[in-house]
Structure 1
Amino acid sequence: MKILRHYCIGKKRIAKFLEKYKVPYSKLYDDDDEYVFDLEEGTEIYQIFKRKFPLQIELHREKIYSKEDLEQAEWLSVRSFTEKIIVDELDDKTVEQSCYYRGILWTSGYRHLKQIGKIQAEKMLKWGNRHFFCGFDWGCQNFLFCSERTRKLLEGQWNGLEFIEAVQRKSGKNIPDIYQMVFKTELPIQAFETGKGSKEIQCELCGKKMIYIPDCGIYTSLKIKKEYLKDYKDVYNTGQILTYNRHLQDGFGVHIVSKEFYRFCEERKMNRGLIYEPIEVV
């Protein structure tokens, strides 16, 4: 496992450093001096960077896991980084949620999302031959979708996994070959071990309990008590109880699968487009 620190810095002398040490970078915009780059924590170049630019703070950190790390894990979170399902919004026919923040220009924040209807999509998806899973085009990772071919491979293999067809927003008809994967078994808040950065908090809006966890390695900061993970053939979800900001941050949930799910998909070369991260069981 390694930790990448992501930077976006607007200083011309940063460019000299990046070029001298051959650090790959891009510009935020073609005509400005905002440099976007990653540095691996613990490397010699990272140490030199910290000495030369001690006041520069990363945008965020990301834990990167090797195949060996994933194969050794008993339980893992899973989500899609392939974003293909075009959904304009989640309206009140699809979800119930609590608004805790309203800002300018129609910006709002929501928590405690609960799905009550089928996902309404704007556009159909064309699956490639090696394409089995995908998510929303605007990055919401609380939802996971698959093709008809994938549904046939997975259905009946895993306890608590159901498939719901997505529908076209205008006609309300089912969209062929697009299924939402629903992880029906929701872990209670008592299943989570807190401490060392994570803590149980209360939503200031309604008093519901939530779990606050650090923003680096959100998924691997989760610690789940082993008595709540009963069988490798089970799949779970955390519910929308997780947050990495105690005030102005939406809640989110995580899908949880066992090593058997990971191996099943890996053996059939289905893991393309999925992100797995180990979860600590205590």
Structure 2
Amino acid sequence: MRIQYHYCLENKWGLEKFLNTNEISYEKTDEWLDGDSLLIFDLYEDEKVYTKFKIHFPYVAMLDADKSVVYSKEDIQNAEWLTVRSKGTKVQWIYNEKAFNQQCPYKRIFIKDIYYRHLQQTDILEATKRVHWGRRQYFSGPATGDTFLFCSERAKSLLNKKWAGLSFYPVKKYRTQKMIDDLYQLYFSEVLSVNAICGGKKIICRGCGRELVYISSMVQMLHIDRQHLKDTQMVYTTGEVLTMDSIHNETFSLYVVPQEFYQFCERYEMNRGMVYEPI
């Protein structure tokens, strides 16, 4: 088990030069609408280069990392249930407020924009272009910190109708609104009760009063009451009740799958770039 820091940072401050000099592998996204690109890379706490990174970039090292535990294959295979996400960043997702029910608005100091603590998806998502899948890549996340999970047509054909609670939504192209070929969102419709989530600390949203689960760090293992996970032919989502934001209470969700899902994807060599964590 190792502690990993996953970064998705703007290509500024000499960051790309640092990564090249220290031979750190990274992905570089296409330029966004404002002309910037993002650098996506991983560092491990037990590496010497991580100490160098903290010295060179102390602010982003402290605030902008997705900290997680990297489990061994044995850890994963021994777990009955797992959370799943993708490290891939191939999908250039574009936020369209019309695709969401925006709940619990609030404002930040000195900023005119309105933010929302909770977003519930109500329509299909949009992206700027199609994805060029590698020969062994079936899944990807977006080129942002969001937890959406996307897949290829091939992955959809293999997984379709095998697990209850899992649907495949097409993705629209930004501006033209045409469906993008060979790109689907995995949509998890079976929502666990907030009472099923035992890890973290139960808090009340400052805006709407709903019950949330505050997790101070994703290194903290998520716990779910087993009586809510009875069907190994079903996949679940925690729903928008998890938060790592103790100030604004902005929420996110995680996807929960049985060991059988992991084993199926292993059998068909689909797990490249996928991150499974034991529950």
- Give 1:38 shift: 4.2
Please state if 1:78 is matched with 2:84: yes
1:193-272 aligned within 5 A: 193-194=198-199, 198-217=200-219, 221-272=221-272
- Cα deviation digits, residues 112-170 of structure 1 (max 9, x gap): 211111101111111121110011112311x1111111100000111111111011122
Q: TM-score, normalised by structure 2?
A: 0.76
1:59-70 aligned within 5 A: 59=62, 61-70=67-76
- Give 1:76 shift: 0.5
- Cα deviation digits, residues 234-263 of structure 1 (max 9, x gap): 100001100112213521000000110001
Alignment counterpart, residue 162 of structure 2, candidates 157, 162, 178 = 157
Please state if 1:101 is matched with 2:107: yes
Distance 2:276 2:120 in 1: 24
Q: One-letter code of the match for 1:231?
A: D
Larger of the two Rg values belongs to structure:
1
- 1:13 maps to which residue? none
Please state if 1:3 is matched with 2:3: yes
- Cα deviation digits, residues 197-247 of structure 1 (max 9, x gap): x21111111111100112141xx5321111100111110000110011221
The 3-state SS of whatever aligns with 2:266 is: helix
Q: TM-score, normalised by structure 1?
A: 0.75
| Structure 1 unaligned regions, length at least 5 | 8-23, 27-35
- 2:136 maps to which residue? 130
- Give 1:172 shift: 1.8
- 1:31 maps to which residue? none
Please state if 1:276 is matched with 2:276: yes
- 1:89 maps to which residue? 95
- 1:18 maps to which residue? none
The 3-state SS of whatever aligns with 1:181 is: strand
RMSD: 2.8
What is the percent sequence identity of the aligned residues? 38
- Cα deviation digits, residues 59-114 of structure 1 (max 9, x gap): 365311111111111111001110111123232x1111233333546666432211
Moved more, 115-124 or 169-178: 169-178
- 1:114 maps to which residue? 120
The 3-state SS of whatever aligns with 1:272 is: coil
Going from structure 1 to structure 2, the CA distance change for 1:39 and 1:107 (only over 3 Å counts) comes to farther
Q: One-letter code of the match for 1:166?
A: V
* Contact persistence 1:77–1:255 (CA under 8 A): yes
Going from structure 1 to structure 2, the CA distance change for 1:135 and 1:6 (only over 3 Å counts) comes to closer
The 3-state SS of whatever aligns with 1:127 is: coil
Distance 2:72 2:181 in 1: 35
Alignment counterpart, residue 175 of structure 1, candidates 166, 180, 199 = 180
Alignment counterpart, residue 139 of structure 1, candidates 130, 135, 145 = 145
Distance 2:266 2:43 in 1: 31
| Structure 2 unaligned regions, length at least 5 | 8-21, 25-41
